[in-house]
Structure 1
Amino acid sequence: MKIAVIGGGVVGLSTAVALLRQGIDVQCYEAGEPMGERSAGDTRIFRLAHAFPDMVELAARSRTLFAEWSELAGTPLVEDVGTVVSGAHAAEWATAMATAGAAHEVVEAGSPLLRLPARDFSGPALIDPAGGVIRVDRIRTFLVGAIGTRLRPAHVDAVEETPSGVRVTAGPDASTFDAAVICAGEGTSALIDIPSALEHHLRVSYPIRPGAPEPFQCWITKPADGELGTYQHLAAPGTWAVGGDVDSSLVSWAGGREAAEQASLELLTAYVSEHLPFVEPRPIARVHCTHNPDLEDGLHFVRRGRVLATYGENLMKFAPLLGATLAQAAADGSTPANAGPPRHEATA
């Protein structure tokens, strides 16, 4: 077989590598830097904790595959510091963890089991001991090395079924494949109908104050309505990264990246100053990416003949599982089952 993978983010590269390991001839198209858009940055949060039991189970399977990747890469790809989810949704997520049979514990602020850059916060806290920091920089090196010359630097303009296969058009060139997998992030909606709303998203890193009790656990805050929800983790030694659920009106696509970044920077820095006593409210690094406000945690798949597409948010932690799943489905013509909350049904 000969299969095209459209998109060289972490999911596209994972899929291409899985196909190569099945002995399938694959070409992965990516117009920019590999893992340079939605996969940008050097770190992400891994967690089993989700609101739906099926997502917990899939994350556990992905964690096992990350361990296998780490063996192949010769370096840990997930640092086991644990993840904490605090606030309004902690109990609901704990129920999903219990249903899935995942180890967890629910505690209150001040528990000696918590290692966070703040002592006080809203609501109980769910401790996910299998969580940690995903080392995106190491994954990028591993996947790019594994795919080798099968990565093609080109922008795909169209993916069309023909009597002889799937034609992929990239500029003046067109090639025909037996099947195609589309995992092009924000570019996926131009090739197949899926939710296409976009907004800007910013993650900012701040210095940890000297003498703070590192290493902190990764931390996701989900406070009551009207308060800023955040995700936080150790981006590098002595550096704490913070992103937040900024109001859509401030980070809209139409409003432009500059205004969105400035609004996000101000809100995140104010949050650090008010809530994180172990962190200096002094921005030292930023990571920009795009976000779809119509999607939450979830894995979504749509098939159009011999073309299979996937989309969703927060997919980094599922990368090895998604790659293996998409590779198998592309080879045998199946369509994986969606997971998580029901969402917009994509159409041909």
Structure 2
Amino acid sequence: MPLWPVYTGTSEPHDGITRLPPPPPWRAFDGTPALASPDEGDAASPDRTHRAETYRATPQTVQLVNAALYLRRPLLVTGPPGTGKSSLVYAVARELRLGPVLRWNITSRSTLDDGLYQYDPLSRLYAARQAAGHTAEDIPETGIEDHLRLGPLGTALLPFDRPRALLIDEIDKSDLDLPNDLLNVLEEGQYEIPELVRTARRTPTAEVMIDGTDERVPVERGRVRCRAFPFVVLTSNGEREFPPAFLRRCVTLRLRQPDDGQLTAIVRAHFDEEPDAYAQTLITRFLSRVGGGDLATDQLLNAIYLARSSDLGAESLDELAEQLMPYLGETPQADAF
């Protein structure tokens, strides 16, 4: 039987992803050859594991994550800095056992090809020159696939038997063309690698390296098509608007600053105990300042950690907390001499 919700927000790992209903007919994919999804294993760094375990999803977040999973659509997460936009994908990947999160950090220079694959023709030319003068038996095999690696988006769209998790971080920092360039790839769930298409008659199957590891996977005739559409999270700080055609292909989640109850739960999760009196004072102070500008939950956690870990007096702690929680984008004031 289908399962709703698949993602519960409890951070307890389970295999509920196998009980997703079939996709809508217009979002069904049939990529081959089917690949086994990787386990997280020991690949997860302690900070990413902690981020996943301590993330606290709101009921709205749980509902929209499940909508994206059921519809096989990307999830566009917008909101102020520090509201947990990028942490969400790690929490979902851990709970649903989707393997290591693939991450693509966007800058103003990012292009679609950066996310799909990287090809280094200079290294191939160097290898060819190194082979010159050797006998045929001595020449190492250095085909195109030895100088090509799939990027995070390209890896996520491989025909894995269960979805991979992909974070496209700060899409609002991209060039104006990138959201439109993503439309076709995310809509069709496939792409081509022209360098491999050109050699497909001679080498129909190429073993290429994937993002984040030296593991190789087969790519047939230079074409990649997904089998299970990946769980794609695109984050935005709301610094720009996106084309309507892009927005209608995404499920949109708008995060707000957490309230008192949510902050208390976040602090409890990070420190594995109830906030003490001083931590509760810092939470109250943090909330009282939220309306005056952007603040990040990390700033509050830093202040609470130092209050717990140092032997500073109350007055010094208050002064330090004030310095640790400036409004984001505010220029620090220089000390006077």
Q: TM-score range by the shorter chain?
A: under 0.3
TM-score, structure 1 as length reference: 0.25
Higher helix share: 2
TM-score, structure 2 as length reference: 0.26
